[in-house]
Amino acid sequence: MSLRSPLGRVLGLGTAKDGTSHWWGQRVTAVALLFLGLWFAFVLAITPDFSHAAVLALIGRPINSILLLLLVASLAYHSYLGIQVVIEDYIHSPGIKVVTLLVSRFAHILLAVAAVFAILKIGLNA
């Protein structure tokens, strides 16, 4: 006999109300970042010139703009999930925990939007 309520069984949610979505999101972005991260490291390593004009040309190349957009989106989400676990592990006071999680979420969204805007501005001007 299952002790789960019919509603709980239908929704398929765990005690944290989000099932495996946190774990799964961390893994999916990890796989994406494995490729995007190595690509970005490779591009940085072979770029000889980091002057302003050279960097605008680099970021503005369509393939680089697209992969950079994917990189910052995956990175922001992966980082948010990771920092969330750290906060939940070490901050036990419920009030401070909620505020810290909120600050982390807003900071990650701000960084992601700033990065996307910057890449688009450079990419669409190039």
Select 98 or 113, whichever has its Cβ closest to another protein.
113
Q: Tell me the number of residues near another protein by CB under 8 A.
A: 32
Burial class (CB in 10 A: 0-12, 13-18, 19+), 74: buried
Q: Per rule CB under 8 A, is residue 83 in the interface with another protein?
A: yes
Which of 25, 70, 73, 79 binds another protein (CB under 8 A)? It is: 79
Give whole-number Cα distances, 80 to 55, 64, 125, in Å: 27, 24, 30
**Helical packing angle, 62-90 and 52-60, nearest 10°:** 90
Can residue 52 be called a binding residue for another protein (CB under 8 A)?
A: yes
Tell me the closest approach of the beta carbon of residue 17 to another protein, in angstroms: 23
In the complex, least distance from residue 75 CB atom to another protein, rounded to whole angstroms? 6
User: Which backbone phi and psi does 72 adopt, to 5 degrees?
Assistant: -70, -35
Q: Between 59 and 70, name the residue whose CB sits nearer to another protein.
A: 59
Residue range at the interface with another protein (CB under 8 A); choices 6-14, 78-86, 93-101: 78-86
Joined tokens for residue 15: 């005690």
